Amino acid sequence: MMKENKSVYIMFIFLQSVLYGIGNPVTKIAFESISVYWCLALRFSLAFFVLMLFFGKKIIRELKSARIMDCLPASLCMAAAYISVNLALKWTTATNVGFLMSLPVVLAPVLARVVLKTKYEWKHIPVQAAVVAGLYLLCCGEEGFVFGKGEAFALITAAAVAGALVYGEKSLAGMSACTVSAAQAGLTAVISLALAAGLEELHVDSVTPAAWGVVAYLAIGCTCIAYLLQNTAVAKISSQTVSMLQTSQPVATAVFSFLILGELLTVRGYIGAAVILVCILAESVFARQGRRSV
């Protein structure tokens, strides 16, 4: 029996990285006229509505037959990830956020060992160490890495993304990608609405057309499409492999942050980007060979 070609699922994660690479810098533009929690609430409410519009019958059918613990852990992790990353983007640069939120490449294998009882292949430690070094070079300026509350929330994002990947792999054993995506978007919308209503005021008349456009892009591109891409890929390749491939996200973030926000890479940044791409290529080869790479 021939092994399934996994290249298409690898490309799904690269496409997700491009979507997020654009989304990270444009989110900072939206925050100029709309508050963080209301941006999140509107984004995920719209995303949930779109998913239900296209896949509603299937989502309801699958959720009725599923146990709450089949999707709740992954959904809670994803909600925590998106709330924390937006707070991080408010308080630090998009490139620094890109570095820290890509650390699931280190965290996911350990979590997968605990949750999924997968075997940890120690030979991949040098590759993971090289990724961390490359990310540091990519996202740190000449003055070095400055750690503040934005970076702290980005670290929370990394841990939450690792949890979402690992628990999402368990969820997808019994549910489709669109159902898992809808559960994640719906729970994030509920939590964000509660936080927005309790902590912030929404001044609709002060929200610029550009901010509304960003909210729409984040809802459709960075939530509906990106969720579906990730959950479809996690159903076919391991969460550890996905987390490694997602280290292409800070490269995309750095490129679009320069084009949109004027954030410049240093020579060290370009070296870091090259290191990351080499590591991603190595992990892609492992995935195409059908191995459960860690």
Amino acid, res. 284: S
d(CA 179, CA 61): 9
The whole-model pTM stands at 0.76
pLDDT of residue 64: 85
| CA dist., res. 154 & res. 88, Å (int) | 5
Regions of the chain with pLDDT less than 50: 1-2, 290-294
Q: Tokens 């559960």 label which residue?
A: 183
Q: 3-class DSSP state for residue 141? A: strand
DSSP class of residue 142? T
Predicted confidence (pLDDT) per residue in 130-176, tens digit: 877 887 787 676 666 666 788 889 888 888 887 777 776 666 667 78
Q: What pLDDT score was predicted for residue 44?
A: 92
What are the angstrom distances between the C-alpha of 76 and each of 28, 80, 125? 24, 6, 29
> Under a CB-based contact definition with an 8 Å cutoff, are residues 12 and 233 in contact?
yes
DSSP 132: H
253: exposed, middle or buried (Cβ count in 10 Å: 0-12, 13-18, 19+):
buried
Task: Say which residue the tokens 């298409």 belong to.
Answer: 8
Rounded CA separation 233/181 (Å): 12
Greatest distance between any 2 Cα atoms in the chain: 61
Average pLDDT, the chain: 80
d(CA 122, CA 134): 20
- DSSP conformation letters of 36-105: HHHHHHHHHHHHHHHHHHHHHHHHHHHHHHS-HHHHHHHHHHHHHHHHHHHHHHHHS-HHHHHHHTTTHH
What is the per-residue pLDDT for 2?
A: 45
For 215-237, what is each residue's pLDDT tens digit? 999 999 988 898 788 878 877 88
Give the per-residue pLDDT at 292.
44
pLDDT at 284: 59
